[in-house]
Amino acid sequence: DGMPTCDFTIVGATGDLSLRKLVPALYRREAEDQLRPGTRIIGVSRSDLDDDGYRAVVGEALAHHIGDELDPVVVVRLLARVHHLVLDAATPDGWHLLHHLLKEGDPDAVRVFYLATAPALFGPICHRLDEIGVVDPSARVVLEKPIGTDLASARAVNDAVGQVFDEQQIFRIDHYLGKESVQNLLVTRFANTFLEPLWNSRWVDHVQITVSETLGVGERGDYYDGSGALRDMVQNHLLQLLCLVAMEPPTYVGRETVRDEKLKVLQALKPMSADDVDRDTVRGRYGQGLADGVAVPSYTEELGRPGSATETFVALRAEVQNWRWAGVPFYLRTGKRMDRKISEIVVVFKEPPHAMFPHHEGTQPSPAANRLHIQVQPDEGMQLHMTAKEPGPGGIRLRPVSLDLSYATAFDARMPDAYERLLMDVIRGNPTLFMRRDEVEAAWTWVEPILRRWSVTPDRPRRYPAGTSGPTAAATLIERDGRTWQESD
Ligand code: BG6
C-alpha cells in the first residue's frame, strides 16, 4: 500500500486532539499492521514526561477512547514506537534533542511533523524545525484548522509555514474530508450514471447542508469565543461539503484535480454585500435549555463572559454562480447545543413538471418533490424520497416512500475514523483529501464580508434555547423562499 517507514512527530502531544483522535487512529492502523517496522511516534510537548511517562499517558488515552476492543498485544507494539521530548516552541532550548532523536532513526524514514497546537505556534514551530535542520525534501508538516481567523491572518500563517515547507509538503487537515460518507459523495456522484444528469439547476430546486451538534463549547471556550460557528464550522467543513456537492467531475482523482475543482466552486460563490449579509445570514447563540434531557447553562454562563457576542449557530443562504448552479440556493446551517447530532446534505429536486394524477378531495396528497438525503453522520447512508402508488383497488392514491441505503447494513465493516485515513495519507504523501492554500484563502475571501458586516451591525446573535433547532429566524430564512428545512426521520 505504498506505506513507508515514518518518524511521526506530534507537537502538542498531550493535548486533546492528540489523545482523543491521533493516538487512537495510530492504534487502529497499528492493529491493521499498517505501520512499517522502524516507524516511531515522537511526542513533543511542554509536559514534564520521559518516554515511559508519555507511554503511560498514551496507554490511558487508548483505554479511554478504544475501550473494550483494546488489544493489549497491539498496545505493546504501539507503545514500543513511542518517545517523548519536553520542548517549548517559545524557546530554542532543547530542540537539538529532536534533531538527535530523528538522526538515530531509520535514515529513509519519512519525517512527519504534526502540529496539534494553537495556530499561533505554527510559524514559530516551523522556524524551530528549520533551525535544527530536520526539514528534508521528503518531510511533511500537518496543520490543523483554524488556519487564521480571517484572510490576512490565514495568509500570514501560510506564509510563515511556506518559508520552511513547500506547498507539496504542507497537509492542512479538514477532518470532514476523511469521513467515509464524505469520500463517498464523490463516488455516489461520479461512479453512477443516474444522478449526474439531474445534478443541476434544471432539476435541482435547492440544496441544504446541516451540521448540528448537541455538545456545548465545554472546555474549549477560550478558543471558541474568539472564533464562533462561522469560522469554526462554515469556513471549512460546511464549505468543503458544499464543494463536493457542487463541483464538476475531474478527469481523474489525482493529487490536484479534485482540489482544482473544489477551488472553482469556492471562487464561484456569490460574494455577499452588506445587504446580502443582513438578509441571507442568521446568527444564533444558545441560552439555557436541555441537552439529552439534562438542564444545561447558556453559552455565556458556560463561558463566564456575559458580554460575549460570539455566535454558536449560523444559518445562511449561498449561491454558486456558474452554469450548472445559477439560481439554485444552497442553505447551510450549523450549531452547538441543538436538538440532535446530525450532519446531512439534502438535495431537493424540482416538482414534477405536470400534475397528471387527479386530486381526490382531501385524500390525495400531490406528489412531493424528490429528495436525496445524504447522511454524513451518524448512521451513514442515503435515502431517496419518492412517490409511489398506495396498494389498493380504489384507484390511484399517491404515498411518499423512500429507498434507504444504510452503510451499516450494506457493508459489514467498522467505519474508520476520519483521522485514520488522513494520517495514513500524510505518511503515504497523498494530499488529495487535504486543503490547499488557495482553497483555504478562497474560503476566507467569501466568509470575510460576513464577519465584517456582523462586526458593525448593532444586531446580536439571536437566542435559541439549548436543545432546539436554532433561532426561529433560521426557519424564516428558508421559509420566505417557500421552502422548509428537511429533517431526516
Ligand atoms: C471541529 C470543530 O472542527 O469539528 C468543533 O472545531 C466541532 O467545534 C467538530 O465540534 C465537529 O466534528 P465532528 O466530526 O464531531 O462532526
Is ligand 1 within 6 A of the CB of residue 232? yes
Handedness of CA 14, 6, 134, 418 (dihedral sign): negative
> Residue 414 and residue 56: Cα distance in Å, rounded?
27
- For the ranges 259-263, 354-358, 432-436, the lowest mean pLDDT is seen at 354-358
Largest CA distance in the chain: 85
Catalytic residue among 83, 237, 373, 385: 237
Contact between 75 and 62 under an 8 Å Cβ cutoff? The reply is yes
Alpha-helix runs per DSSP H in 132-225 = 151-162, 180-190, 221-225
Is ligand 1 within 6 A of the CB of residue 261? no
Mean per-residue pLDDT, 393-399: 84
Alpha carbon nearest to ligand 1 atom 6, residue: 232
> Which atom of ligand 1 is closest in space to residue 223's alpha carbon?
6
To test the pocket of ligand 1, the residue of 177, 212, 224, 232 to mutate (highest count of ligand atoms within 8 Å of its CB) is 232
Mean per-residue pLDDT, 418-432: 96
pLDDT above 80 for 3:
yes
Alpha-helix runs per DSSP H in 218-292 = 221-225, 229, 239-246, 257-268, 274-280
Mean per-residue pLDDT, 209-224: 92
> pLDDT tens digit string along 82-131?
999 999 988 999 999 999 999 999 999 999 999 999 888 999 999 999 99
> Residue 169 and residue 488: Cα distance in Å, rounded?
40
- The yes-or-no answer on residue 237 being catalytic is yes
- Which helix (H) or strand (E) segment holds residue 301: the answer is helix 299-303
pLDDT value for 160? 96
Question: What's the start-to-end Cα distance of the chain, in Å?
Answer: 39
Contact between 27 and 417 under an 8 Å Cβ cutoff? The reply is no
Q: Please tell me whether the overall predicted TM-score, pTM, comes out greater than 0.90 for this model.
A: yes
Tell whether residue 175 is among the known ligand binding residues.
Answer: yes
* Cα(46) to centroid(ligand 1), Å: 25
Is ligand 1 within 6 A of the CB of residue 441? no
ipTM over 0.95: yes
- For the ranges 272-276, 289-293, 413-417, 485-489, the lowest mean pLDDT is seen at 485-489
> pLDDT tens digit string along 437-458?
999 999 999 999 999 999 999 8
pLDDT value for 221? 87
Contact between 236 and 145 under an 8 Å Cβ cutoff? The reply is yes
Alpha carbon nearest to ligand 1 atom 2, residue: 232
Residue 188's CB is within 10 A of a number of other CB atoms, namely 17
Mean per-residue pLDDT, 326-334: 98
Phi and psi dihedrals of 391, rounded to 5? -65, 145
Among 316, 357, 119, 87, CA closest to 208: 316
Cα–Cα–Cα angle for 159, 446, 238, rounded to 5 degrees: 95
> Residue 209 and residue 344: Cα distance in Å, rounded?
6
HSE (CB half, 13 Å, CA atoms) of 240? 29
Express the helix, strand and coil content of the chain in percent, nearest 5 each: 40, 20, 40
